[in-house]
Structure 1
């Protein structure tokens, strides 16, 4: 029987434990602008270009006298009645939007066979998303959760608050890593952790926000689907599924026991039928998560712990089908 075991000391030696310097360095791999979902409009009378913002995405600027060609729906009737001349309201496009970084640090995330843990990968990607949003002048908020704990940070475009966001993410990750591998705490699985986080997100998020979700989506259920559908009605969502290569394929023949914290599966990696079932199970999981985001017209991508930092591209145009194919 082959077993994988990592002590807390070994974890630190292999850079599984995060540092603030790592999260700050992610700004050098962040894109200059935030990647936005490319959605097609369903209406034919909304103009030739689709705004990246949901809702009006405009704020009031001034009132001026009506001119031929102005939209009659923007007429300011109060000013018109007071002056006796028709006036219209002028709006300008809002240049900033709230960006929410949702990071799932459930215990299933604290595993990895190449380069880093899934939890480490999620935090690095979350940091990149933060810097992309912050450098674009947007207000960034954080929602980080484990099986029993979650941290909420309000939207802010101040650098000091942004560094505090990264510090909270760092501390939550490293504390849970230490508890899981020091033997002082048992392995905890909360099947409702992700749905509870998304429910809380529904109460926090205002329309027109951009939401990043970093998770392995092990606990994706029907409640999660309902929350995502509701959130996607008024916000843009970008889901990133992190995984480890061993979840998709086992390269070394032998007897393995795999668990998600609730169920155990025994696999003979030298048996072609067992390996085929293992690979198909992973592909089916990715397909289900992808379908969940697709049905809500949200963006979705997958990231592997085996990827190098330069390969961890936050681009919603990534072909999920191609990514899944490469994991086989």
Structure 2
């Protein structure tokens, strides 16, 4: 590979814009299989078998005559009445389940000081989660939202529909990016964007689904907590908070000017007390969001624009969050 090609490849990987090529390439980092839910729900099965699936993790298989040891709760009373002999229902575990990819592309996500924007990283991780789910044979759905637009895609395990999902994600991101940077007045923060997405998700998701949420959670409020609690009762949630190093700390003393396109803020990074307050505020926000997910026994991970896309792992984050939830209990 020539030096020119290497430079071009690096430029694409660190671009704030997205291409379908980038999102398709994420399949090479999607080495994980979709993790099983970490909470077990008792299903009405022969012998009181414990299913790893929550909610609608079981599907009807057949009816047969009752045998000693069968769970009486699975008796099919209609067949029993019709035949005069006791029959019981047999269920089997579903081999796949719906996976919902939720990407919050609120305008606060279009910011970054390292490698790429938070919005770009969220889309890359969304694509990675899509490929992990698709390669495991699951049906994948999408729910993408900006401050002004909203896209819903139904669960499907067809590759053509999956590529359409990635195409919609790319176009939504790039259109919003272009709107913000072509017109400073276009920058808008919808304080209800996240809660509206979660409310809509409650109407779309069936029990037993796995939900990935990629967001900076700037607008996480009490209504969001209620929606998350409701969704977590019958589904597994994996929240990924996308951040930037400047949100956590400012590395060097000096005078910095930040702007959202309309307003300008000047920060004196030489004031150690202010910088400690800035860092403490970020740490408190992360801890609060982590606690929100822990209270619903949902998985949580924090990723940064300074990280490589390969740094985020599914299973360790889930296990770490379980330990955090148990410690809090």
- Pairwise TM-score range, normalised by the shorter structure: 0.7 to 0.9
| Superposition deviation, residue 273 in structure 1 | 0.5
Between structures 1 and 2, the one with greater helix share: 2
Runs of 4+ aligned residues of structure 1 deviating over 6 Å after TM superposition are 46-49, 259-264
State how 1:153-232 maps to structure 2 within 5 Å: 153-183=153-183, 186-232=186-232
| Superposition deviation, residue 37 in structure 1 | 4.7
Report what 1:124 is aligned to. 124
The number of residue pairs the alignment matches comes to 310
| Superposition deviation, residue 160 in structure 1 | 0.7
Once the two structures are superposed, what CA deviation does each residue of 1:6-45 show, in whole Å capped at 9, x if it has no partner? xxxxx97952111111111111111341134533779xxx
Determine helix, strand or coil for the equivalent of 1:207.
coil
In structure 1, the gaps of 5 or more residues are 1-10, 321-328
Report what 2:318 is aligned to. 317
Are 1:114 and 1:244, in contact at CA under 8 Å, matched by a contact in 2? yes
Report what 1:57 is aligned to. 57
Once the two structures are superposed, what CA deviation does each residue of 1:124-145 show, in whole Å capped at 9, x if it has no partner? 1101111111111111110000
| Residues 255 and 62 of structure 1: CA distance in aligned 2, closer, same or farther (over 3 Å) | same
Report what 1:273 is aligned to. 273
Higher relative contact order (CA 8 A, sep 6+): 1
Are 1:34 and 1:133, in contact at CA under 8 Å, matched by a contact in 2? yes
In structure 2, the gaps of 5 or more residues are 1-10, 322-329
Report what 1:94 is aligned to. 94
Are 1:192 and 1:219, in contact at CA under 8 Å, matched by a contact in 2? yes
Report what 1:140 is aligned to. 140
Determine helix, strand or coil for the equivalent of 2:51.
coil
Question: In the aligned structure 2, how far is the partner of 1:74 from the partner of 1:49?
Answer: 12
Name whichever of 69-78 and 307-316 sits farther off.
307-316
Question: In the aligned structure 1, how far is the partner of 2:219 from the partner of 2:97?
Answer: 29
Are 1:189 and 1:261, in contact at CA under 8 Å, matched by a contact in 2? no
Question: In the aligned structure 2, how far is the partner of 1:13 from the partner of 1:62?
Answer: 51
